[in-house]
């Protein structure tokens, strides 16, 4: 396995804000701290060549996990091994094995043309000229790099800069590239270019990619596998197809009924099969597809309500994910 993560945890220690004057005075002499567990006993492995999505709601612990994998943060406990390296302990050698893009931070030289930044990176990472040229050709083809290759980084649009950041992260043919929110703030055209570039680099050069994103499109179009983290705990590890069935399948029948009968049909179905999810969408009644209610029986139940149309529908991946987050929130409250 290229990436091995075992019982990984991270605690942040933060000062407790004083509530009154007396506490403020005490705080000046000796501050009180509280410990917050942000990543808790996380375990996963990633094989070489995989493209994996690390997803979860805000504050779930995604960036903290990536920072520990890249060696920026030290784990409080547990073990990380990437390409045989301990990210923190072997930092000097390790940085040559990885590429990193953090949405907000730049690895390029602001006042220099993109070309100069790339050549500095080539020298820093000892990239042979032939390999450098091959990479540049790919960036030209996939990211249309020529449009802005000779312009200073500070003059680029956000989308152009992010394309350069991605290209820079892959420039030295690292074993693995970590992408934290690479498409944040980009328009649809730029997102599509960015995804095309990442896909090509993952597939053509076999570079392993771990990507975090709140944009479900990035996850659906780029990754084959999902790591779902919530409140610091890994809640799901599997393929996108597995996630669909795990999160309730997401397959429904949608029946268009007579507008005046649709509410009565909903009541009837709920009474008939209380465990089966049913929902109203205007004049459409949606019923989860499940073995416990065979199609013939469903048609019989709906017959009195003037069905004018019936079609299978698949729930959007985004809805499934959102439902999964909400279910976890409810679990935590119970």
Ligand X SMILES: Nc1ncnc2c1ncn2[C@@H]1O[C@H](COP(=O)(O)OP(=O)(O)OP(=O)(O)O)[C@@H](O)[C@H]1O
Told to check if 8 binds ligand X by CB under 6 A, we report: no
* Choice between 215 and 249, CB closer to ligand X: 215
Which token pair is 256?
């268009």
* Choice between 63 and 70, CB closer to ligand X: 63
State the DSSP string of 13-66: EEEPPP-SHHHHHHHHHS--EEEEEEEEEEEEEE-TT-EEEEE-STTSSHHHHH
Of residues 2, 3, 14, the one with CA closest to residue 65: 3
Which token pair is 174?
């690292």
Nearby residues of 141 by Cβ (< 8 Å), 6 or more positions away:
none
* Choice between 63 and 160, CB closer to ligand X: 63
Question: From the CB of 36, what's the least distance to ligand X, in Å?
Answer: 6
Question: From the CB of 64, what's the least distance to ligand X, in Å?
Answer: 3
* Choice between 38 and 183, CB closer to ligand X: 38
Q: Compute the distance between CA of residue 210 and CA of residue 165 in angstroms, rounded to an integer.
A: 15
Told to check if 104 binds ligand X by CB under 6 A, we report: no
Binding mask 234-273 for ligand X (x = CB under 6 A): ----------------------------------------
**228 in helix, strand or coil?**
strand
Query: Which sign, positive or negative, has the C-alpha torsion 234, 240, 246, 251?
Result: positive
* Choice between 58 and 274, CB closer to ligand X: 58
Region 27-86 residues binding ligand X, contact defined as CB under 6 A:
36, 38, 56, 58-64
Told to check if 231 binds ligand X by CB under 6 A, we report: no
State the DSSP string of 162-222: HHHHHHHHHTT--SEEEEESTTTT--HHHHHHHHHHHHHHHHHH--EEEEE-S-HHHHHHH
Total residues in contact with ligand X, by rule CB under 6 A: 12
Q: Compute the distance between CA of residue 174 and CA of residue 127 in angstroms, rounded to an integer.
A: 11
Binding mask 175-214 for ligand X (x = CB under 6 A): ----------------------------------------
Question: From the CB of 61, what's the least distance to ligand X, in Å?
Answer: 4
* Choice between 103 and 250, CB closer to ligand X: 103
The site for ligand X (CB under 6 A) is made up of 12, 14, 36, 38, 56, 58-64
């Amino acid at each position: 396995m290229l990436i091995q993560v075992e019982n990984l945890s991270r605690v942040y220690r933060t000062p407790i804000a004083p509530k009154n004057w007396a506490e403020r005075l005490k705080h000046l002499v000796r501050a009180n701290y509280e410990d917050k567990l942000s990543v808790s006993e996380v375990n996963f492995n990633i094989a070489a060549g995989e493209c994996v999505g690390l997803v979860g709601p805000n504050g779930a612990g995604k960036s903290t996990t990536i920072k520990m994998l890249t060696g920026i943060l030290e784990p409080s406990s547990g073990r990380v091994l990437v390409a045989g390296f301990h990210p923190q302990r072997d930092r000097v050698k390790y940085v040559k094995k990885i590429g990193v893009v953090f949405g907000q931070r730049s690895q390029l030289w602001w006042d220099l043309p993109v070309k100069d930044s790339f050549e500095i990176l080539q020298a820093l990472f000892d990239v042979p000229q032939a390999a450098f040229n091959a990479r540049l050709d790919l960036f030209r083809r996939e990211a249309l790099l020529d449009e802005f290759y000779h312009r200073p980084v500070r003059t680029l649009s956000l989308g152009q800069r992010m394309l350069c950041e991605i290209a820079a992260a892959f420039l030295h043919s690292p074993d693995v590239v970590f992408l934290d929110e690479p498409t944040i703030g980009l328009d649809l055209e730029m997102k599509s270019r960015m995804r095309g570039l990442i896909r090509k680099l993952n597939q053509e050069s076999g570079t392993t990619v771990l990507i975090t994103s709140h944009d479900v499109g990035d996850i659906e179009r780029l990754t084959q596998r999902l790591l779902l983290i919530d409140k610091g705990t890994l809640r799901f590890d599997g393929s996108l197809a597995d996630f669909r069935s795990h999160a309730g399948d997401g397959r429904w029948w949608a029946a268009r009924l007579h507008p005046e009968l649709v509410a009565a049909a909903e009541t009837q179905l709920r009474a008939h099969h209380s465990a089966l999810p049913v929902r109203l969408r205007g004049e459409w009644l949606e019923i989860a597809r499940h073995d416990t209610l065979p199609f013939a029986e469903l048609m019989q139940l709906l017959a009195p309500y003037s069905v004018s149309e019936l079609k299978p529908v698949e729930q959007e991946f985004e809805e499934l994910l959102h439902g999964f987050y909400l279910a976890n929130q409810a679990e935590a409250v119970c």
